């Protein structure tokens, strides 16, 4: 029986590297792993469906589920997770010293539907009393001008989102005081300058994020893995084959990170980091699957709906190919 050839666009992560170098095979599939930065992968997949399988923004994927064609189906695999309290940047002269100071300010994100800002807006609303619709939002390129929303959004009237000027960038606007705050995934260059004009809202973000996890049990999911629906419908067995391979690739990374003969990542106290993660999160601190992540996913789909990105709160079970869930019962 011939093997199915599939293209897979994903960044170079330790937890997927065994798929990229071929040391973990995929049952029945020859995987052409395209190592691409996330922004390129997301844009090309969302706009043009260029790949058979791809890493995708969790928010963008949820937006597609409200479209009649529902072009993708996801696997409960999460290449990117990130606590985002550290990703709220403010102009030092904006008068923003605590979260409630954000109300009514000039706030932007590279895209409104971007996953990181969805989490940030939801956390600020739930835990700090900052309403999602307390002010309009701006969007545009962070370091290069001209960025647009990768998918057309239909937002309720209480959510106002507008583009910045065609030659403006969010990083410079924040530095120059044309913005008060920026919710983003990538650290802006105006913060990296280190001149003090841009700072984090939560400068002690590790303590804040640890307290958030201890209160909620949520380690925010940023990305999932999607299959083009037409590819999936023609070969439904691939959902479980791919999921099993992702699980095995991740298992090998867990082992690598706790290897003490020689450090496999350039962190001096890598062993201590692993032991700290285990104490805080348990052995499977970067968990895949639906059931282990139900609360996190339900919180995200609620935020997505509350922020006008989904017309209803999505049932988390409808996010994933049912065959992929069987891989966690083996």
Residue where a domain terminates, one of 169, 189, 216: 216
Q: What are phi and psi of 182, to 5 degrees?
A: -135, 125
CB atoms within 10 A of CB 144: 9
Residue where a domain terminates, one of 168, 184, 216: 216
First to last CA, the chain: 24
Per DSSP, the three-state class of 192 is helix
Residue 30 CA, chain-centre distance (Å), reads: 27
- Average pLDDT over the chain reads 97
Residues 207 and 226 both lie in one domain: no
Q: At residue 181, does pLDDT exceed 70?
A: yes
Q: 53-72 burial, b for 16+ CB within 10 Å, e for fewer?
A: bbbbbbbbbbbbbeeeeebb
Condensed to tens digits (0 to 9), the pLDDT of residues 195-221 reads 999 999 999 999 999 999 999 999 999
- The pLDDT of residue 1: 59
Residues 161 and 236 both lie in one domain: no
Residues 52 and 149 both lie in one domain: no
Q: Please give the angle made by the CA atoms of 40, 9 and 293, to the nearest 5 degrees.
A: 100
Residues 21 and 100 both lie in one domain: no
- Nearest Cα neighbor of 167 from 198, 141, 136 is 141
Q: At residue 158, does pLDDT exceed 90?
A: yes
Q: At residue 329, does pLDDT exceed 90?
A: no
- Measured N-to-C along each axis, helices 270-281 and 205-216 cross at an angle, to the nearest 10 degrees, of 30
CATH number of domain containing 309 = 3.40.190.10
Residues 109 and 195 both lie in one domain: yes
- The pLDDT of residue 311: 97
Residue where a domain terminates, one of 177, 198, 216: 216
Condensed to tens digits (0 to 9), the pLDDT of residues 221-267 reads 999 999 999 999 999 999 999 999 999 999 999 999 999 999 999 99
- The pLDDT of residue 2: 86
Q: Which two tokens stand for residue 104?
A: 């009514």
Residues 107 and 183 both lie in one domain: yes
- The pLDDT of residue 25: 97
- The pLDDT of residue 199: 98
Helices (H) and strands (E) in the chain, counts: 12, 11
Question: What distance in Å separates the CA atoms of residue 162 and residue 144, rounded to the nearest whole number?
Answer: 17
Any idea how long the chain is?
330
Residues 250 and 190 both lie in one domain: no
- What DSSP element (H or E) covers 193? none
Q: What are phi and psi of 263, to 5 degrees?
A: -75, 130
Q: At residue 330, does pLDDT exceed 90?
A: no
- The pLDDT of residue 15: 98
**Domain extent for 291:** 4-81+221-329
């Amino acid at each position: 029986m011939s093997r199915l050839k599939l293209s897979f666009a994903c960044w170079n992560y330790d937890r997927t590297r065994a798929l990229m170098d071929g040391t973990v095979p995929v049952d029945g599939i020859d995987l052409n792993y395209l190592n691409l930065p996330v922004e390129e992968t997301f844009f090309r997949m969302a706009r043009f469906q260029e790949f058979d399988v791809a890493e995708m923004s969790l928010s963008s994927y949820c937006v597609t589920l409200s479209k009649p064609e529902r072009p993708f189906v996801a696997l409960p695999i999460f290449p990117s997770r990130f606590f985002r309290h550290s990703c709220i940047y403010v102009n030092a002269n904006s008068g923003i010293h605590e979260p409630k100071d954000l109300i009514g300010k000039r706030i932007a994100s590279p895209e409104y539907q971007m996953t990181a800002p969805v989490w940030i807006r939801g956390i600020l609303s739930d835990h700090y009393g900052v309403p999602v619709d307390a002010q309009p939002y701006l969007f545009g390129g962070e370091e290069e001008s001209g960025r647009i929303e990768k998918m057309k959004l239909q937002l309720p009237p209480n959510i106002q989102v507008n583009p910045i000027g065609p030659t403006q960038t969010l990083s410079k606007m924040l530095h120059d005081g044309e913005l008060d705050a920026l919710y983003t995934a990538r650290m802006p260059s105006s913060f990296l300058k280190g001149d003090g004009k841009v700072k984090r809202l939560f400068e002690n973000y590790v303590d804040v994020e640890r307290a958030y996890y201890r209160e909620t049990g949520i380690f925010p999911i940023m990305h999932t893995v999607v299959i083009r629906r037409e590819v999936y419908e023609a070969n439904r067995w691939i959902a479980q084959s791919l999921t099993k391979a992702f699980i095995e690739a991740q298992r090998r990374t867990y082992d690598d990170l706790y290897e003490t003969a020689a450090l496999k990542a350039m962190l001096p106290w890598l062993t201590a980091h692993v032991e700290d993660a285990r104490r805080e999160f348990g052995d499977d601190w970067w968990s895949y699957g639906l059931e282990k992540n139900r609360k996190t996913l339900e919180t995200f789909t609620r935020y997505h709906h509350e922020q006008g990105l989904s017309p209803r709160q999505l049932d988390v079970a409808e996010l994933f190919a049912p065959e992929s869930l069987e891989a966690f019962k083996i």
